[in-house]
């Protein structure tokens, strides 16, 4: 059984590989083998938080938008695109037919949704989980990079403000 939206064999490889990232990211001692859902979730949280403590880090998936939701020094980005564009990209990248690419996309989206719902009682499409949502069907890669960089800089300027003093953004 998969513990997140990816196959378990990949999960175990991921956790083992994370040991090599640095001393701050070690394979958690609280991970039972084979892992239960609860021990996996705790261990994954330890790995994700350890990666953040190790320095500037990009974490893709793994429920990190939820694991790190209380960290003000993170930027949570969601990428979206029209299904037709996603099909074209997956078909080209993975050398699949359009039908097989669509099937793979639908399956991964369902796995991601099922994992976040079961583990964190959240849905990946909830906009409140993200600081920004970028549509790559409208914005090119360079535009997305610029927007992420600008968002990081803007968010960093607000870190010195106590969380209780932050309110809705103003136009000033």
Q: What would the pLDDT profile of 11-29 be if each residue is shown by its tens digit?
A: 555 555 554 445 445 555 6
- Whether 39 has a pLDDT exceeding 70, the answer reads yes
Residue 68, CA distances (Å) to 11, 20, 107 in order: 19, 22, 26
Q: What would the pLDDT profile of 102-114 be if each residue is shown by its tens digit?
A: 999 999 999 999 9
Q: What is the pLDDT of residue 164?
A: 77
- Whether 59 has a pLDDT exceeding 90, the answer reads no
Please name the residues in contact with 83: beta carbons below 8 A apart, sequence gap of 6 or more. Answer: 102, 105
Q: What is the rounded distance in angstroms from the CA atom of residue 3 to the CA atom of residue 48?
A: 15
Task: Measure the CA angle with vertex 104, ends 100 and 109; round to 5°.
Answer: 150
Mean pLDDT (whole number) for 142-167: 87
CB distance 76 to 65 below 8 Å: yes
- Whether 9 has a pLDDT exceeding 90, the answer reads no
- Whether 4 has a pLDDT exceeding 90, the answer reads no
């Amino acid at each position: 059984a998969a513990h997140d939206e990816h196959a378990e064999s990949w999960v175990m490889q991921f956790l083992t590989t994370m040991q090599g990232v640095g001393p701050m990211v070690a394979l958690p001692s609280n991970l039972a083998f084979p892992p239960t859902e609860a021990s996996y979730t705790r261990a994954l949280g330890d790995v994700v938080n350890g990666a953040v403590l190790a320095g500037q880090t990009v974490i893709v998936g793994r429920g990190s938008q939820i694991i790190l939701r209380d960290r003000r020094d993170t930027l949570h980005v969601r990428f979206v695109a029209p299904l037709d564009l996603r099909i074209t990209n997956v078909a080209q990248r993975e050398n699949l037919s359009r039908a097989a690419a669509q099937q793979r996309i639908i399956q991964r989206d369902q796995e991601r949704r099922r994992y976040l719902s079961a583990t964190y009682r959240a849905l990946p499409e909830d906009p409140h989980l993200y600081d920004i949502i970028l549509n790559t069907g409208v914005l090119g890669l360079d535009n997305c990079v610029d927007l992420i960089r600008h968002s990081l800089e803007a968010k960093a300027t607000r870190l010195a403000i106590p969380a209780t003093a932050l309110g809705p953004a103003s136009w000033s």
